A = this chain, B = another copy of it.
Amino acid sequence: MTASQSQLRADAQENRARVLAVARELFAERGLDVPMAAIARRAGVGVATLYRRFPTKESLVVEAFTEQFAHCRAVIEEALLDEDPWRGFCTVIQNVCLMQATDRGFTAAFVSTFPELHSEVRDRTWEGFAALVERAKESGQLRADFSPHDLTLVLLANSGLAGVPVEVAVSASQRLVAYLLEAFRAGTDALPPPVPLSLDLVLR
Contacts and interface: CB of A to CB of B under 8 A. Distances in A.
Q: Is the interface of A mostly helix, strand, loop or mixed?
A: helix
A156 interface: yes
Given A150-B175, A182-B189, A161 B168 contact: no
Contact of A156 (B163, B180, B189): B163
B195 A172 contact: yes
A194 B168 CA distance: 11
A54 to B, nearest CB: 25
B197 A163 contact: no
Interface residues of A, number: 34
A192 interface: yes
Closest 7 CB pairs of A and B: A160-B160, A157-B157, A179-B183, A183-B183, A159-B160, A171-B195, A156-B160
Interface of A: 111, 150, 153, 156-165, 168, 171-172, 174-176, 178-180, 182-184, 188-189, 191-192, 194-195, 197, 201-202
